[in-house]
Structure 1
Amino acid sequence: MLGVFSGEVVEAPEELVLAGSRTPSPKTRAGELVDRFIRKTEGAVSVRLGSLAQLAYSHSQQSPLRPRLFGVKEEIFCLFEGNLDNLGRLRQHHGLSKNANEVVLVMEAYKALRDRAPYRPSTMLAHLSGSFAFLIFDLATSTLLVARDPDGKVPLFWGITADGYVAFSDDVDLLKGSCGKSLAPFPQGCFYSNSLGGLKSYENPKNKITAIPEKEEEVCGATFKVEGSVVLAATH
């Protein structure tokens, strides 16, 4: 899956800008990135949302344990990869039919987050149990929400293209050709929201997230870490 967003939607993370500046490497524009995805991926589908964003996905070579889903409802666009272990209970909670899949559930949960302020994103995301990575773009408000599961079972990366778009994808090889070293794994147990303060941990909302520069030979230029997570892991 692939989502690219202009500077009107997402302010490029400073840490990724610095990673690309520290070790300059070739990049391409966002349009070329999307075109490359469509050319190389069988059955690819793409959706352009004016100058703000472009989404693309395919079911080609997807894992049976991590299907890719796409949904649209009331100008809310969602790309979802993975599965939710507690989908049945969440359907009941949101009053959805038994046929509602993960992408429908996540869009409904987002609507509850948007419409029932001050409902917190950490509360919404903490209710999701399973393996997942998703992005939601609300065209009506130009709001972006991206999240990854706490165990990082579904790959997700983000980077900056030559023309300053921020791109998200489960395919690191796809992104590295367009983002160079301005590229990093999206941190597990975290979310990004352009309307709620940028990148934050929903597992540990009070903990700061810092970017650690990677060695030059690594594909990614940086890795984001939630402060305290290493210490906690060492004590178990």
Structure 2
Amino acid sequence: MLTVFDKATGNPPVELGLPSIGPEKAKTREEILKLFQSSRPECTIYYLSDGNFMALSHDNENQSHPRSIVVIDDVFCIFFGTLENTSDLRRYYGLPRQATEAMVVVEVYKVLRDRAPYPADQVIKDLQGKFAFILFDARSGTLFAARDRDASVELHWGMAGDGSLVCSHKLNIIREACGKCCAPFPPGCIFSNGSGLMSFIHPLHKVRAIAREDDSGNICGVSFQVDLFTRIPSIPRTFSGQNWADATAVKEGDHY
């Protein structure tokens, strides 16, 4: 799996670009796509606006963590892993038995976008299983990604040489595209290009970037962790239908 979104759309955390990548590692979106296609010629690619794309390959797929992609009403979703409560979610959202995990995720997004400003951290908690997904709403330009709390499924992200946000389940793909400007996507977290990175396990605590330095004092990598010592007193609601993640955070009293 590989997704690449330009800087304006992906809005990657600035901390991803802290390590020095060097000119030989600074690849563009076009170069990244060519590299992926050359090693996985059977992959399915969805070309989006502004040169962005989402690609999926079933090469060396782990049967316990299958990969799938769906497109429903201009909402693209790549899902890999499994949900343990798919049947319950189908009934709750009024979906047919044939609905896959990716279809369930799209329906969850559409409900949050169109009907009510539910807190996304509470909704993602209802997804039980080993999973990661990346969703893009082509109409509103909303990008959303999440990874289960136990990091059961691989998901990495990074910043390419042109500032694009790159995501993949393969570390070697990310390193080839982004050099040192990459990190594991933090478990138990959700990311939106509108509101940034947050933990759905600890929604009232900030997720901070931790820099690693080499022997010379240069930043050689970053990781993202929940800061349990920093509490967010409140996050204002936003009722915009343009970005469902803007309506995710609620005041502290709403969680307890």
Q: Secondary structure at the match of 1:228?
A: strand
C-alpha contact (below 8 Å) 2:25/2:176 kept by paired residues: yes
Q: Give the equivalent residue in structure 2 for 1:136.
A: 135
Q: Secondary structure at the match of 2:118?
A: coil
Q: Give the equivalent residue in structure 2 for 1:71.
A: 70
Q: Give the equivalent residue in structure 2 for 1:122.
A: 121
- TM-score normalised over the length of structure 2: 0.83
The amino acid of 1:227's aligned partner reads D
The runs of 5 or more residues in structure 1 that have no matched partner are 230-236
Question: How many angstroms does 1:12 deviate by?
Answer: 2.8
Q: Give the equivalent residue in structure 1 for 2:9.
A: 9
C-alpha contact (below 8 Å) 1:33/1:175 kept by paired residues: no
Question: How many angstroms does 1:38 deviate by?
Answer: 1.3
Show the 5 A alignment for 1:5-84.
5-20=5-20, 26-51=25-50, 53-84=52-83
Q: Give the equivalent residue in structure 2 for 1:160.
A: 159
Q: Give the equivalent residue in structure 2 for 1:85.
A: 84
The amino acid of 1:88's aligned partner reads S
Distance in 1 (alpha carbons) for counterparts of 2:209 and 2:141: 26
Question: How many angstroms does 1:39 deviate by?
Answer: 1.2
Distance in 1 (alpha carbons) for counterparts of 2:173 and 2:102: 23
Question: How many angstroms does 1:27 deviate by?
Answer: 2.4
Q: Secondary structure at the match of 1:39?
A: helix
Structure 1 residues 209, 25: CA separation in 2 closer, same or farther (over 3 Å shift)? farther
Distance in 2 (alpha carbons) for counterparts of 1:114 and 1:24: 40
- Say yes or no: does 1:149 pair with 2:148: yes
Q: Secondary structure at the match of 2:175?
A: helix
The amino acid of 2:114's aligned partner reads D
Distance in 2 (alpha carbons) for counterparts of 1:53 and 1:126: 29
> 1:174-209 CA deviation, whole Å, 9 max, x = no partner?
1111211110100000010122x1011011101111
C-alpha contact (below 8 Å) 1:189/1:202 kept by paired residues: yes
Question: How many angstroms does 1:215 deviate by?
Answer: 4.6
Q: Give the equivalent residue in structure 1 for 2:206.
A: 208
Question: How many angstroms does 1:116 deviate by?
Answer: 2.2
Q: Write out the 4+ residue segments of structure 1 that deviate beyond 3 Å after TM superposition.
A: none
Question: How many angstroms does 1:128 deviate by?
Answer: 0.1
Aligned-pair Cα RMSD in Å:
1.8
C-alpha contact (below 8 Å) 2:29/2:51 kept by paired residues: no
Q: Give the equivalent residue in structure 1 for 2:99.
A: 100
Q: Secondary structure at the match of 1:152?
A: coil
Question: How many angstroms does 1:18 deviate by?
Answer: 1.5
- Say yes or no: does 1:190 pair with 2:189: yes
Question: How many angstroms does 1:216 deviate by?
Answer: 4.1
